[in-house]
Structure 1
Amino acid sequence: MQCMNIAPEASAYGEAVRAVREGALDPDEAAEQLISQMTATELLGLLDGDSPGLLLPLIPMLLRRRPFVAGAVPRLGIPGVRFSDGGRGVVIGASTAFPVTMSRAATWDPALEERVGLAVGLETRARGANYSASVCVNLLRHPAWGRAQECYGEDPVLTARMGSAMTRGVRVHAMACVKHFALNSMEDERFEVDVSVDEHSLHEVYLPHFKAVVEAGADSVMSAYNRVRGEYMDVNHALLTDVLRDEWGFRGFVTSDWVFGTHDAVTSLQAGMDVEMPLRLLRARTLPAALRNGQLARATVVQSARRILRTTVLHAATRETAEPGAAVIASPAHRALARRVAAESVVLLKNEVLGETPLLPLAPAISHLAVIGRLAARANLGDHGSSRVRPPSAASVLQGLREALPRVRITTDSGRNERAAAALAAAADTAIVVVGLDQHDEGESVVTGGVNVGVLGPAFGSGALSRVVTGLAHLASRFVRGGDRSSLDLRPSDVRLIRAVVAANPRTVVVLIGGSAILTEEWREQVPALVLAWYGGMEGGRGLADVLTGAADPGGRLPFVLPTDPAHLPPFDRTAKSVVYDDLWGQRRLDGEGHAPAFPFGFGLSYTTFEHRLLEHRFDDTGGWADVLVTNTGGRRGSTVVQVYAADVSVRRPVAQLLGFRKVTLQPGTETTVRVALDAGPTLQRDPDTRCWSPRAGDWALLAGQHSPVSWADAVRLRRPAEPADEDGISQHERPACHPPAGWRGAAAAPPT
């Protein structure tokens, strides 16, 4: 479907867009002009979806056929918010399926992610939408979260950089929406769970990446289903207004999460949630009477209308002017980009030398390859929830290897019969076992108990009908696929298969497919080569084959820690109705408690070797930079990710804080000096009373390396430039800064070398 001309210049809206584009009006003036021409009914119509509530059962089908529209006013030419999901590609029609967000996080390459965002925005626009809910920056507090694959991992700085890059790319063609605000990282009880969090953890751990994406230009924010400190997010004035708008200065509009994300029509509007998505439900029934009887002030309606119209007019006036045609959808260029991202996301965790060379890349002289496992011949693209993309074609691991090795005899087996699989492996030069997760093991829980069924109408608010519907939802949730994981281990059948194949052929490569951490302790020591390949998108099989054959270097690095024991992570109860979020999770929790990981945050091997040496740095409370000498000490061209960490080394167990990173590719035997932009945020603390930021206490040191540090013995003191004292005898960097640190504002690209 080609992009429609949804705002003709002759309309009032088209004239407003033209005036903003030419500088005759600013966006606020344009919004006011439109509001002055609107009836009360039209104004209220901006505040919820345009589709009737009766379409609720048809949402999954309609979502993949057309944009969902909210707030269209045909009389004035206002196109409305034309929604498409897009975390791994556009969900409408047959579109490019990129690797899932977690896979792209593993590239540690914001510039590459910005290109993905540009492609997603372009295809969104070509499908007739102008709004993409494609930027998910919820922090991975625990890898059992069912929707972990939709986020950028466990670190605020990595998430901020990658999410900001995605935002910049998307909004060249479509409004970019960031989700789910805030503290959403459980699936099965997402409609009911109440998150308790202290001020320190909230502002210094769970919100900085949202702030960064807002600073990067996000047009809209989607509120989460969960409660925070006892209040559902759609009515959470403290976060939606006091923080998001008053403290951060966000000028866009806020939408609800879908259908069951609005709990009170009037209170949610007053709290700062502008649009109930995607249907005419609570607000359509409640707001007209509330406006007439004075329960709702017209000024509150106009305030949200202004945010919505200002944002849509500004974006229409400033986006790329050329209208894309259908040919851009799943185009050769986008397929090639998807393949490159898939290859650069592959994390090589283990690669032992067998004979004289490492097992990977596959030897050029290989003549017989066995590819084994229930996931080997499947294009395993990720969960089947709201972010599902249906590409026109998709390559499995088996297909990718057959295309890459046309002269090699490749035999295959599903692995259901372990003896048959072992026999096949024994007859081959090398065996590749493809195991892991799919949409049945993790993902969005499409049917979930605990929904607020009162949104469907007064009859569902209480009483027998409400109890029946809620009970059916709880019952159905036990049988649907997806949701939070009950274990971080592989399926027992996968473990048995690995052991059988390795026993039959010691030249075995294990490929793990999944959206977050999979524990390997049961079998890792028996396996000579281990690869994490994620849900790699429509070109995932080909991208993985590029890496396995050596056509591409494994460019991925872990966006989370892989522990040896799930007890080293925070508690995770998928049935919990309340949970406490603190500042100890992931690698930081392991550091603080003294647990060695199986593989640390940021880890990943190349087919070559690198050395990193910190040369000099400059750093203050607004950020800084570090110059790192990088040398390719091996015999192949390859890539590394320069990672710069800081920690308070005065404590017994320093906890590493990522400050910055930069990916670099070098030819063998060459070196270069890389300048890495550093975020100040992880070294600062926020005063909850004054909202001022100041340096955290401690003896802070800096270290450059290839993953989260194991030792701080070689760290250098984190120097802040000396500044003259003011009239009070206090240097400027010692004074609290009553503004967010610059490093948390999404400065995604390091300065050029």
Structure 2
Amino acid sequence: MIDGRVSRRSVLMGGAAIAAWSASPVSAMLRRIDPGKDAGTIDKLIAQMTLEEKAGQLNLLASAWGGGIATALNPPGGNSDFPKQVADAVAGKLTGVFNGNGAAMAMQMQRAVMSGSRLKIPLMFAADIIHGHRTIFPVPVAEAASFEPELAERTARVAAYEAAGSGVDWTFAPMVDIARDQRWGRTMEGAGEDVVLGCLFAAARVRGFQGSSLDADDAMLSCAKHFAAYGAAEAGLDYSTVDVSERTLRDVYLRPFKAAFDSGALSTMASFNEISGVPSTGNHWLMTDLLRGEWGFKGFVVSDYTGDEEMIAHGFAKDRRDAARIAFLAGVDMSMQSGVYTEHLPSLVRDGAVPQALLDGSVRRVLAMKAKLGLFDNPFRRIDLKREKSRSRLPASLALAREAAVKSCVLLKNDGNLLPLSPSATIALIGPFGSVGQDLNGPWVVYGDNKQAIDLPAGIRTAMKGRGRLTVVAGSGVESAIPGGIEAAVAAARGADVVLLAIGESEAMSGEAKSRTEIVMPAPQQALAEAIAATGKPVVVLLRNGRALALEGAVKAAPAILVTWFLGSEMGNGVADLLFGAASPSGRLPMSFPIASGQEPYHYDHKPTGRPNGPGKLQEYKAHYQGVPNEALYAFGHGLTYGDMRYSNLVIDAPTMAWGGSLGVTATVTNAGRVAAEEVVQLYIRDRVASVTRPVRELKAFRKIRLAAGASAQVMFKLSRAELEFIGMGLKPTVEPGTFDVWIAPSAQADGVHSTFELGAA
């Protein structure tokens, strides 16, 4: 039975446990550990451990006391008995648990281990803190639309501040997978389709989660996932096969991981997928040769949820013992949820199938990380019942959530300057997402509550301040019609000056295991949109989504379209700020919206092929689908403001970049509009001729600037030879002299201003 009460007695017992720990001989030995300098002390502890206790330090389980959303996301399975889980922890059978029930649960478990276990090795508590703890921020792909890595660092810092205050030592974030097929549901967890943007956001989130020191009580260990190429799953199907060349792996999918590790991430999670026939969890080249050997990674590797056991279904392991052997020898230090390491590692070592030195090495890495987190110094460092409440949903945190919501939205279209609206207007809010208190936080929220989030009606009414009139009608469900719903919606539209059409995906349609065969609007919502368009009233589409969508019919033709994603705690206020002009949209698409769903996988930096169509009319026997150009409806980097941004006067320092030098590229950007606005100025290149074919465009840098109405600014970028490198024939970074196109533009598909330069020979 789970004791959910937090009594004064339990708090006092927690204090007693801390005191007992502090006075113990093991504490005296381990609290002096400097994992960077004193590995010998950890080795002394390892020498005292049985094989079973060593395997226990490599065993991570879902908390038996998770409750609510946590239990639904990661069912504890056979580990649903909390007292038994505590007893197993005391017996040294597990290193920690994840997605537990806050400080109360952590206190009970840590107290039991510190007072009753043989070696007094602290537990480590983990959780899926993907885009917030109690204060929920926009889903990661939405935050990437801000094109402000610094914003992601700040939101990750608040998430760590809150979560660490409730006992969390380790988060399974950031997800740094490049996603180029929007059918894949986990698109919402990453930074989209571009490598440069992905690297910058990966690094920023690591810095935010980990803070200035991992042993601080407001810091969490980050975990770059999913290693590797999970976003390249065939047909966008979650858990499916990946088959990419090593060149593409290195040029695209591995780079954000390297950026995360270079920024201090000291754990990574093996991906579910196979790569070229070898499951990542059993891939020695990936986990050992590349990660530890070539890159020098010093942290530890954890499997994804039962990922090691799943090698049996892959046809790569014959049984659980074989799966444990393969995963461990490949370089996976810690097993999540399956229990195969505790079952089989001791006997595998005794039988000589696994060298004991390798087992000791994995245990050493895990214990060193617990030391870095300050757990040997104070096992209760992050477990504080009062702190858990005092850090939750602070005014400053909610203000940041509102700022992030505003900066994450992307204005795709604004014909006739329909937006911003007057707060005195008569407005009909129509659609399944105009309703109260649902689908606001988005997928992968373990501890947040939609009931605490500001919904659209609340945010809009607050912004209108009693002026005008707001009518709210659902019109349809997300995936089903409502009897009489369209008729009621049409009546509301006819009585309004303008319609806000809140349509898109529910939380249940995006995220893990939510792959879609077609990324279109569900039929009932499309029918609702067609009926509203037929009224002739001006329509602003408010898209709720966790991926790019293929817009059709009345949705595509609406005069204004605002991508609002899942924005979290301040969704209603953030969207209202944009609708009524308290802020000007500044977000840009981190992935391309295709013309048709069948174009997926689609990404702007595709290769030209030997038969490119070129601009203009579609030609026979060229690279395009029937009737559809090989381009996006709204390309990566696209987004409008309430200003009128114009590009001119591209200047390059010199016609040739010296082999060891750099080149300045400058353009003038002018806001010809009537309001101040922020523009994301983007630099793209194309290597025209190379020994390995290169994409039609590649983002190399961007800068976000604010311009007053009528103001201009010169925006300069510096290019060096390093920005021109690619993975060459020898699978090493290389660059070759020749001609390069360069654009400074508002998106990957816009002309902006364009010129060329030469790279000189060495």
TM-score, with length taken from structure 2: 0.78
The 1:441/1:277 distance shift into structure 2, 3 A limit, reads: same
Match of 1:409 in 2: 469
Q: Return 56-65 or 405-414, whichever deviates more.
A: 56-65
Match of 2:148 in 1: 109
2:606·2:695 contact (CA, 8 Å) conserved in 1? no
Match of 2:129 in 1: 86
The 1:144/1:269 distance shift into structure 2, 3 A limit, reads: same
- Distance of 2:123 and 2:659 partners within structure 1: 44
How far did 1:246 drift? 1.1
SS in 2 for 1:283: helix
Match of 2:634 in 1: 599
1:623·1:678 contact (CA, 8 Å) conserved in 2? yes
Match of 1:145 in 2: 184
Give per-residue Cα distances to partners, 1:539-563, cap 9 Å, x unaligned.
1111111111111111210001112
Match of 2:491 in 1: 423
Match of 2:481 in 1: none
Matched, 1:283 2:364: no
SS in 2 for 1:586: coil
Give per-residue Cα distances to partners, 1:298-347, cap 9 Å, x unaligned.
10011111222223322439999998543112222211111111111110
How far did 1:520 drift? 1.6
The letter for the 1-side match of 2:370 is T
- Distance of 1:253 and 1:498 partners within structure 2: 50
Give per-residue Cα distances to partners, 1:199-230, cap 9 Å, x unaligned.
21111011111111111111200111111121
Matched, 1:63 2:99: yes
Give per-residue Cα distances to partners, 1:612-640, cap 9 Å, x unaligned.
45555789789987555444332212111
- Distance of 2:26 and 2:717 partners within structure 1: 44
Where relative contact order (Cα < 8 A, 6+ residues apart) is larger, the structure is 1
Matched, 1:169 2:205: no
Matched, 1:250 2:297: yes
- For residues 110-509 of structure 1, what are the structure 2 equivalents within 5 Å? 110-172=149-211, 173-185=219-231, 186=233, 193-262=240-309, 263=311, 264-278=323-337, 281-316=339-374, 325-353=388-416, 358-364=417-423, 366-378=424-436, 379-381=438-440, 389-390=448-449, 393-407=452-466, 408-416=468-476, 417-445=485-513, 483-509=514-540
TM-score, with length taken from structure 1: 0.79
The letter for the 2-side match of 1:272 is G
How far did 1:610 drift? 2.5
2:206·2:260 contact (CA, 8 Å) conserved in 1? yes
Matched, 1:664 2:700: no
Q: Aligned Cα RMSD in Å?
A: 3.6
The 1:267/1:170 distance shift into structure 2, 3 A limit, reads: same
The letter for the 1-side match of 2:603 is G
The letter for the 2-side match of 1:182 is A
How far did 1:33 drift? 4.3
Give per-residue Cα distances to partners, 1:152-174, cap 9 Å, x unaligned.
10011111101110110001201
Give per-residue Cα distances to partners, 1:390-436, cap 9 Å, x unaligned.
35601111221111112221111111322321221111111111000
The 1:533/1:234 distance shift into structure 2, 3 A limit, reads: same
How far did 1:641 drift? 1.0
The letter for the 2-side match of 1:431 is V
How far did 1:60 drift? 13
The letter for the 2-side match of 1:666 is L
SS in 2 for 1:162: helix
The 1:17/1:116 distance shift into structure 2, 3 A limit, reads: farther
Work out which of the residue numbers 645, 650, 657 in structure 2 matches 1:610.
Answer: 645
Match of 1:702 in 2: 742
SS in 2 for 1:83: strand
- Distance of 1:526 and 1:96 partners within structure 2: 36
Work out which of the residue numbers 562, 585, 589 in structure 2 matches 1:531.
Answer: 562
How far did 1:688 drift? 7.0
2:236·2:515 contact (CA, 8 Å) conserved in 1? no
1:623·1:680 contact (CA, 8 Å) conserved in 2? yes
Give per-residue Cα distances to partners, 1:516-539, cap 9 Å, x unaligned.
111123235631111110011121
2:131·2:139 contact (CA, 8 Å) conserved in 1? yes
The letter for the 2-side match of 1:438 is S
The 1:201/1:50 distance shift into structure 2, 3 A limit, reads: closer
- Distance of 2:440 and 2:571 partners within structure 1: 8
1:160·1:212 contact (CA, 8 Å) conserved in 2? yes
- Distance of 1:296 and 1:252 partners within structure 2: 21
Work out which of the residue numbers 583, 592, 605 in structure 2 matches 1:561.
Answer: 592
The letter for the 1-side match of 2:452 is S
The 1:318/1:98 distance shift into structure 2, 3 A limit, reads: farther
SS in 2 for 1:196: coil
- Distance of 1:668 and 1:311 partners within structure 2: 52
- Distance of 2:733 and 2:146 partners within structure 1: 31
The 1:284/1:319 distance shift into structure 2, 3 A limit, reads: closer
The letter for the 2-side match of 1:145 is W
The 1:16/1:161 distance shift into structure 2, 3 A limit, reads: farther
**Count of residues in correspondence between the two structures:** 658
The 1:206/1:97 distance shift into structure 2, 3 A limit, reads: same
Give per-residue Cα distances to partners, 1:662-686, cap 9 Å, x unaligned.
2222332334455557697773233
Match of 1:473 in 2: none
Give per-residue Cα distances to partners, 1:469-505, cap 9 Å, x unaligned.
xxxxxxxxxxxxxx21121110122122222222224
- Distance of 2:186 and 2:755 partners within structure 1: 36
Matched, 1:588 2:587: no
- Distance of 2:377 and 2:443 partners within structure 1: 31
How far did 1:611 drift? 3.6
